[in-house]
Amino acid sequence: MKYVIIGGGIAGTTAAEELRKLDPESEITLISLEFHAVYSRVLLPHYVKAKVPRERVFLKKETWYAEQKIEWIVGESVTKIDPVNQHVALSDQTEVAYDKLLIATGGEVKLIEQDVPGVSYFRTLDDADHMLELLRALPLEARAGIYGGGFIACEYLNIFKHFNIATTIAFRGAHMWSRALSSEAGELITNHLITNGVEVIPNAAVVEIHGEKIIEAFSVGDKKISCHILGIGVGIEPDFSLMREATIDVQDGILCNQFLETNMPNIYTVGDVAEFLDERYGRHLLAGNWMNAQMQGRCVARNMFGERTVFNLVSSYATNALGLEIIFIGDTSRAHAAESRLIGSIEAGGISELFVRNNRLVGAILVGRNSDRAVLTKLIQEQTELTDTSVILSS
């Protein structure tokens, strides 16, 4: 059996590792655009803040691939997927045949149009190295800017706070995670940022950068803000051109069933790029987080090996903005929820928003109420019929 995996991140590498355990004699090829061995993106902020050394970010040594008899192709991209003849073409013109193919490519960060020294992105280890270079070159009394209102923006907030850099954050919505959070939860986060000395600029549809040799400022509308480093966190954007050419179905991600199989025979997908059928919610979901990627990697290996296994996980992701915990659990799509219920308040310093369908909890967003996490996750897992949420959670 010849397994080929496109993508050397945690999802693809976990799948390769599990396949080797299941099938000691198979051929496994792992194709990675990056030159690094697999590393923890979760640890990158700790590396930037010097809380862990660079070598501890890596989850595998470079020798691990050969020890596991995994062919590790680095620095190459896939230029074509041929589902009929079952091979992929690489950027160096070589072709790699497969019996089973896994797409675990993730996505690329969305870039802003202007690019001058001082602009920072934060997804890869190379991005982290670049950010450290920028931070070391900052003048005294430097100012930082952030454009974005999600998870990466939170990482920038915490990093700039760690280095005692005065910060302005601008985002496109009325508040952070404007499409996901209630206005109350959004206001709670905004108040917390302001209390911690951050200048907050909402509804910033367009940001213009000033400076040629190095960034000097950015502006939103008529407001110009001095800054010496600007962190960009406006999401990721997968490239589906190869999948469309190979007639692999895509929507917001690569569509797959509960076994992580695409519509094309012997082609599977996992990780940030996978839009998978979740039987618990009865719809396709995208879940771009570390836990999801790792667990999908384990599950898909069993399916590729021939052990039919449904992917079943109540996915969750936690971050914090200057000490305020923010947690997403399960299906948090407002559009797909029949109703939402708020527990807590701005005044109390914590809000949990519950997303309900058919009188059952399908998802929740917790802001400043980490203690609710275990009970809500259990309710989603067990598909418990709700009665009075104020009894379940103390308001």
Boundaries of every domain in the chain = 2-107+238-305, 109-232, 323-392
CA distance 77 to 367: 39
Q: How does pLDDT run across 184-212, given as a tens digit for each residue? A: 999 999 999 999 999 999 999 888 999 98
Query: Residue 354's Cα: distance from chain center in Å?
Result: 22
At 184 the three-state DSSP class reads helix
CA distance 80 to 101: 13
Q: How does pLDDT run across 55-66, given as a tens digit for each residue? A: 999 999 999 999
pTM as predicted: 0.94
Return the pLDDT at 393.
Answer: 55
Instruction: Report yes or no: 258 and 268 within 8 Å, Cβ to Cβ.
Output: no
Instruction: Pick 109-232's CATH classification: 3.30.70.1400, 3.40.50.720, 2.60.120.10, 3.50.50.60.
Output: 3.50.50.60
Give the chain's mean pLDDT.
95
CA distance 5 to 155: 30
Instruction: Report yes or no: 337 and 285 within 8 Å, Cβ to Cβ.
Output: no
Q: How does pLDDT run across 333-356, given as a tens digit for each residue? A: 999 999 999 999 999 999 999 999
The token pair that represents 381 in the structure block? 């897992």
Q: Does residue 228 register a pLDDT over 60?
A: yes
What single letter denotes the amino acid at residue 109? V
Please name the fold of domain 2-107+238-305.
FAD/NAD(P)-binding domain (3.50.50)
What are the C-alpha distances in Å from 21 to residues 6, 38, 68, 301?
A: 19, 18, 9, 10
Give the DSSP letter string of 119-172: EE--SSHHHHHHHHHHHHTPPTT-EEEEE-SSHHHHHHHHHHHHTT-EEEEE-S
Q: Which CATH class is domain 323-392?
A: alpha beta
Return the pLDDT at 391.
Answer: 47
Instruction: Report yes or no: 296 and 274 within 8 Å, Cβ to Cβ.
Output: yes
Q: What is the mean pLDDT of residues 22-33?
A: 97
Query: Taking CA 315 as the corner, what is the angle to CA 330 and CA 374, rounded to the nearest 5 degrees?
Result: 75
Q: How does pLDDT run across 246-281, given as a tens digit for each residue? A: 999 999 999 999 999 999 999 999 999 999 999 999
Residue 278 pairs with which residues in a beta bridge? 283
Residue 102 pairs with which residues in a beta bridge? 5, 268
Return the pLDDT at 395.
Answer: 46
What single letter denotes the amino acid at residue 53? P
Paired sense of beta strands 87-90 and 78-82, if any: antiparallel
Lowest mean pLDDT among 160-164, 240-244, 336-340: 336-340
CA distance 206 to 143: 20
CA distance 37 to 16: 13
> 2-107+238-305 and 109-232: same fold?
yes
Instruction: Report yes or no: 98 and 267 within 8 Å, Cβ to Cβ.
Output: no
